Amino acid sequence: MNDPLSEFDGQLLDGLEFCGKVYKLFELIRSEPDGIKRIRLRTDETEKKLMDELLPICRYVQTYYRLGRYISVRWVNGNQSYDAELVQEGQLVDQGKFPAGAYLEATCAMHEAEHWIRKLLNNGMPAFAPEGIKKQRGRSVESKPVVFTNNDHVLTFAPLVVSLIRKKMEISYPATTSLVVQCHLNSLYTLDDWRSLVSMVEQEIRISPFQEVLLFDGTTERVTSLELGAL
């Protein structure tokens, strides 16, 4: 397959068309003999960009594209401080509720051992919460079951999200940049667990320089726009 990222790089696409092309690329890779392995391990740039940038951008578009706010996306594969440029049109933009030009930064919040979970699953081995990963010199990696009490799993994961957002806040972005945070959660989260996570993050990050901060669970597709004040 030729470089599939060139189909997106620097191309201004209607947001819904962008999503369709991204999903088509995902299914194309998935259908290949080693496609699932490549998606899990993300050893090549194509799969890494697809999973960590293009699909999160789709999540943003699907959340906010609506009557009066039509979003076009230009994904940029480079070293700039953002991942995509947005061109927004419609009545809500004309009324000044949303900027005509904006930017998008996509990032992932995860436990440091999360990549081992994907590797174990790819090798047909059991994998539990990333906190249960055991790696010792000279021995293979093991995943041990982890028992969480009450909302311990949320209390453990929330600081990872807070730390990531604060790190992004230290970077200089264009004024109309929105942040999309894809969460690779450390356990199965109920709706109440998700709401608790969102609340904990909002209590720690009360203000931000971003136009919007969108938090979403990459597994269940739960999505929440954080209610934060502006700097």
Q: Is 67 left (phi over 0), alpha (psi -120 to 50) or beta?
A: beta
**Per-residue model confidence (pLDDT) at position 109:** 96
- Count of CB atoms situated within 10 Å of the CB of 138: 4
* 231 has pLDDT over 80: no
Confidence of residue 71 (pLDDT cuts 50, 70, 90): very high
Confidence of residue 115 (pLDDT cuts 50, 70, 90): confident
Whether the full predicted model's pTM is greater than 0.75, yes or no, is: yes
Give the domain ranges of the chain: 4-112+150-230, 114-143
All residues at 6 or more sequence positions from 226 whose CB lies less than 8 Å from its CB, including other chains = 198, 201, 202, 205, 208, 212, 213, 214, 215
- pLDDT tens digit sequence for 124-175: 888 888 888 887 766 788 888 888 999 999 999 999 999 999 999 999 999 9
Quick one: average pLDDT of 69-79?
A: 95
